Structure 1
Amino acid sequence: MTPVDQVHGLSPQVMYEQFWLKEAAQRRKMTGVKAAAGLVVGVALAYRFNLSAPVVGLLFGLLVGAGDMFWNWRTHDATAVWRGKRRGDVITGKLLRRRLRRRGYHILEGRAVPGKASIDHLVIGPGGIWVVDNEAWDPETEIARYGDRLFLGEKYGSKVAKALVEVSESLAEVLSRESGIPVTIEPLLAVHGGVIRRSVTAEGLTLLKPRLVVRWILNGPRAEFDESQVEVLARTAARVLRRMS
């Protein structure tokens, strides 16, 4: 059986995992080479500054080797959601709850918007309201803005952006009507995997890494709700949005 036959019909995720395992020996070899280079540099620095060459050299070698191993692990772990090993909504949800609840924000999770698609997280707090969804792309997909258009790799991201923008607008209309408090809602998309530099805003949608979502919310308030208004909006949202099973 040829290599082409072996991978024919396999999903990109399975192929990625197979290649990752196949290249494990090569990664270990390269880690050893880098650690050896670190050892040499450490010894050279030790002689330069009259330090203990064996100790400094060994320390540099261990640090370089450990750093390379950590980088390899982190690169692989970044694809966990795309590979189906972890859930993006769980990762983002933990970040939102841990850092926003103590600041007076309410987080509703797994809700269905009437007449629209479901949302992963709805954040309501003193600074405004945000819809936060999650998506995963393969490690080669570059997420960027060119002109006014959103691109996901070589494809337009208009469909992704339009869906979340429409959900946010529809939900803002419902909450404004049911609560009596005029609101606007900003859509955010937590990106798991792919290639993205911090954040990308295009076609009404902001895409960013999960760890940056909380910072974006806290640094960019869109409203000034008092405690009673936040409570009314949170209770209204909990009432009108059906919890997904």
Structure 2
Amino acid sequence: MTPDDQVHGLSPQVMYEQFWLKEADQRRKMRMVKAAAGLVVGILLAYRFDLPAPPAVGLAAGLLVAGADMFWAWYSYEATAVWRGRRRGEVITGKLLRRKLRRLGYQVLDGRAVPGQASIDHLVIGPGGIWVVDNEAWDPETEIARYGDRLFLGEKYGTKVAKALVDASDSLAQVLSRESGIPVTIEPLLAVHGGRLRRTVTAEGLTLLKPRLVARWIVRGPRAEFDESQVELLARTAARVLRRMS
């Protein structure tokens, strides 16, 4: 059986994991080469700047390089965990939102169905406004970018993804405004797990960013000024009118 036969029919996620395991020996060999280079550079720098115990300095530099390389390899692999189905993006983002926003007076509702629209992973309501936050995962090679006014996910347009969240946010804003008596607007955000995204991309009414940046974006970009009673009323109204997803 040829290597092509072995991978034929496998999902991209399974193929990624198999290649990752096969390349483990090569990564270890390259790590040893990098550590050796770090050792030599450390010794040379120690002699150059008259540092004590050049061999010890070189050894420390080599170990530091090896440790950094090991961490980067682990981080790169872990960044694909949601895409590979090993972790759930909504769980990761939900924990980050609660840890960073609750103490600031924000409330987070998870897994809600917007009437007539798609379900949403998180609804954030707080002093600065209201945000819909969803989660998506792409493979490590998918570049997420804006060109002109269009959103691109790799070589494909991201219009369908953006429109679904923008429409859900607009529909929910109408429902909450009507049911609570408080005029609201809602900003849609998409927490991106995997893919190639520098920091944030805003296009076609949607902002895409890494999960760890979502709470910071919300705090730094208020859209409204709600007092504590309004936040409570909006949260209760949302909990009442939005069906919780199982």
Normalising to structure 1: TM-score of the pair? 0.99
Identity of aligned residues (%): 84
Q: Does the residue aligned with 1:33 lie in a helix, a strand or coil?
A: helix
Give, in whole Å, the separation in 1 of the partners of 2:39 and 2:123: 51
CA RMSD of aligned residues (A): 0.5
What corresponds to 1:47 in structure 2? 47
1:104-148 residue CA offsets vs partner (Å, 9 max, x unmatched): 000000111111111000000000000000000000000000111
Query: Counterpart of 2:38 in structure 1: which amino acid?
Result: G
What corresponds to 1:244 in structure 2? 245
Q: Does the residue aligned with 1:131 lie in a helix, a strand or coil?
A: strand
Q: Does the residue aligned with 1:96 lie in a helix, a strand or coil?
A: helix
Q: Does the residue aligned with 1:229 lie in a helix, a strand or coil?
A: helix
1:46 CA displacement: 1.1
Give, in whole Å, the separation in 1 of the partners of 2:30 and 2:106: 46
4+ residue runs of structure 1 moved beyond 3 angstroms? none
Give, in whole Å, the separation in 1 of the partners of 2:48 and 2:209: 45
Give, in whole Å, the separation in 2 of the partners of 1:44 and 1:197: 35
The question of 1:139 aligning with 2:140 is answered: yes
| Alignment of structure 1 residues 43-82 onto 2, 5 Å | 43-51=43-51, 52-82=53-83
Normalising to structure 2: TM-score of the pair? 0.99
Give, in whole Å, the separation in 1 of the partners of 2:136 and 2:216: 19
Query: Counterpart of 1:164 in structure 2: which amino acid?
Result: L
| Alignment of structure 1 residues 1-245 onto 2, 5 Å | 1-51=1-51, 52-245=53-246
Query: Counterpart of 2:159 in structure 1: which amino acid?
Result: S
**Count of residue pairs the alignment pairs up:** 245
Q: Does the residue aligned with 1:182 lie in a helix, a strand or coil?
A: coil
Give, in whole Å, the separation in 2 of the partners of 1:137 and 1:164: 17
Structure 1: gaps (5+ residues):
none
Q: Does the residue aligned with 2:218 lie in a helix, a strand or coil?
A: helix
Structure 2: gaps (5+ residues):
none
